Amino acid sequence: MPVIKVLFVTSEIAPLIKTGGLADVSGALPAALRTLNIDVRVLVPGYPQVMAQMGPSEVVATFNELPGFPPSRLIFSIMKTGVPLLVLDCPKLFSRDGGPYMDPETGHDWTDNPIRFGLLSKVAAVLSSDASPLSWHPDLVHGNDWQTGLIGVYLSVATGAVPNIITIHNLAFQGNFRPKKVKLLHLPPDCFSINGVELYGKMSFLKAGLYYAWHITTVSANYACEIQGDELGFGLQGLLQSRTKDITGILNGIDTSDWNSETDKYLPAHFSPTRMSGKAHNKQALQQRMGLQVDPAIPLLAVVSRLTHQKGLDLLLEIVPRLLDFPVQLVILGSGDAVMQQDARDLAQLYPGKVAVLIGFDEGLSHQIEAGADIFIMPSRFEPCGLNQFYSQRYGTPPVVHNTGGLADSVVDCTPETLKDGTASGFVFSGMTTDNLYATIQRAVDLYRDERKWKALRKNCMKKDFSWESSARAYREVYLKVLGRS
């Protein structure tokens, strides 16, 4: 089969720059696609973190005259995974301290985000058309989330444009701005309409992406259905319904070498389904590190998450005092909403030795928590795919999840039947109420006390295959279909 050349465009990529699941996907999926004879190159903004870590590199193009944008250049490098990287170096837009999207001083988005990600989209479109200065020409351009949403708009007026697809990792983030940006970004003047980039009077990067893409994918089959409904369509359900034939849900995989309990560099002890003693050691080390009472018998509940309304952790925080009666311990690693952060800190102060909270982002600790905890909690109100429920299952830490999006697609509720047939892998609840969450955690803790059943459940979790292989094959099918080759 001839090689397919794909330009994969993303605003974050692990391990160079990460705020969430998009980075994990961008770090792993291109590498998996390359094993399927797909020549993927990744275009990513040259944030300081990327520039500092990218390794040997060479400038392969300069863009001095893109209307509306400051000068930029393209730097070629190769990731440790072997994936070629095209770094968009534009110091005026990307060389600054802070997060990729947010000004840490104000806590608000960078005010020039439309120009920053407009440039990312513009350069992706240039590379995907006759105007490309590179000798490598993609057959298809694959954007991700709103930051790449204008690729299709720019391509709509380019010559030699290749097909473009977009993957939705979270429909709630849309990149909606005032209409005057249409002019600043030098978009075609007639594109500001319902048949274009307009969404309820704003100009919307994501709406544009969904409107102009040849095909849309999202990160679980369940979420692909949910976003076409009123509850989780975030105002885009009408457009998505009209494109229902062009939407495919593909569940994410995980990086199984980074998340391998037998080799994980962050873990104080390694373990496997047949040698579980290392897991107990991890629990002890985690209890020690987090200042929890060291007790192998008490169920240790855990959260690693952005602390936002989406993740539903307000429900968990509310029931902590009741949960501690079971008894259980709780460890939380996360950051986000200021009120939720404070509520979590208050609980840690109120219940020393029982509740431990670290506000911040800590990759190593996230691995230690997944390995050392007994039960992982993920009560997301909505969850396009979610990654931590994969990590926790792989590390023998059955998750408690809300019945939504990718959580529903990747966790099998533990019942006498599913435990017997070997499919049970966690605890799933429907109905976002504190009572439902409480009852489900109680169900998990009850099972934890039954050593034989708990061992069986953990084993089921750890034997599941979450590698990227089958997901990458599903993306290849989409590429072939869009290119008319399937």
Contact residues for ligand ADP, defined by CB under 6 A: 20-21, 24, 304-306, 333-335, 361-363, 366, 385-388
Q: From the CB of 388, what's the least distance to ligand ADP, in Å?
A: 5
Please, what is the minimum distance in Å from the beta carbon of residue 246 to ligand ADP? 24
Rounded to an integer, what distance in angstroms lies between the CA atom of residue 229 and that of residue 450? 40
Residue number, 72 or 261, with CB nearest to ligand ADP: 261
Angle at 388 between CA 276 and CA 262, to 5 degrees: 30
Kindly state the smallest distance separating residue 294's Cβ from ligand ADP, in Å.
Answer: 23
Token pair 């494109």 in the structure block, residue = 243
CB of 159 to ligand ADP, least distance (A): 37
> What single-letter amino acid sits at 422?
G
- The nearest distance, CB 376 to ligand ADP, in angstroms, is 10
Identity of the residue, 22 or 120, whose beta carbon is nearer to ligand ADP in the bound complex: 22
Measure Cα distances from 284 to 11, 445, 450 in Å: 38, 18, 20
Q: Using the minimum distance from each CB to ligand ADP, give the nearer residue, 187 or 365.
A: 365
Q: Let me know the angle formed at the C-alpha of 155 by 151 and 160, rounded to the nearest 5 degrees.
A: 135
Minimum distance of ligand ADP from residue 305's CB (angstroms): 5
CA distances from 314 to 309, 339, 451 (A): 7, 10, 31
Minimum CB–partner distance for residue 155 and ligand ADP (Å): 27
CA–CA dist 63, 56 (Å, integer): 21
Choose between 21 and 379: whose C-beta lies nearer to ligand ADP.
21
Assess contact for 293 and 329: CB atoms under 8 A: yes
88: helix, strand or coil: strand
Name which of 132 and 368 has its Cβ closer to ligand ADP.
368
Residue identified by tokens 């988005």 is 109
Which residue, 12 or 139, is less far from ligand ADP as judged by CB?
A: 12
Q: How many helices (H) and strands (E) does the chain have?
A: 19, 18
* Angle, alpha carbons 458-459-462 (nearest 5°): 85
User: Judged by CB, which is closer to ligand ADP: 79, or 127?
Assistant: 79
Closer to ligand ADP by Cβ: residue 149 or 312: 312
- What are φ and ψ of residue 99, in 5° steps? -80, 170
**Residue 360 CB, nearest approach to ligand ADP (Å):** 6
Q: What's the min distance (Å) between Cβ of 334 and ligand ADP?
A: 5
b/e string for 133-165 if b means 16 or more Cβ within 10 A? eeeeebbbbbbbbbbbbbbbbbbbebeebbbbb
Closest by Cα among 326, 431, 456, 313 to 378: 313
Residue with tokens 């998505």: 240
DSSP assignment of 337-401: -HHHHHHHHHHHHHSTTTEEEEES--HHHHHHHHHH-SEEEE--S--SS-SHHHHHHHTT-PEEE
Q: Which residues contact 385 (CB under 8 A, 6 or more apart)?
A: 21, 169, 219, 220, 223, 251, 252, 405, 406, 409, 410
Looking at the Cβ atoms of 24 and 337, the one nearer to ligand ADP is 24
Three-state SS annotation for 397-429: CCEEEECCHHHHHHCCECCHHHHHCCCCCEEEE
Residue 193, amino acid: S
* Nearest residue (CB) to ligand ADP, 47 versus 395: 395
Min dist. Cβ of residue 364 to ligand ADP (A)? 8
- The least CB distance from residue 90 to ligand ADP, in Å, is 25
Query: String of b and e for 14-35 (b: at least 16 CB within 10 Å)?
Result: bbbbbebbbbbbbbbbbbbbbe
Q: What minimum distance in Å lies between the beta carbon of 77 and ligand ADP? A: 23
197 vs 304, beta carbon nearer ligand ADP: 304
- Please tell me whether residue 46 adopts helix, strand or coil conformation: coil
CB of 148 vs ligand ADP, minimal distance in Å? 16
CA 62 to CA 72: how far, in whole Å?
6
Of the pair 283, 311, the CB lying nearest ligand ADP is at 311
In the complex, which residue's CB is closest to ligand ADP?
Answer: 21
Of residues 323 and 365, the one with the C-beta less far from ligand ADP: 365
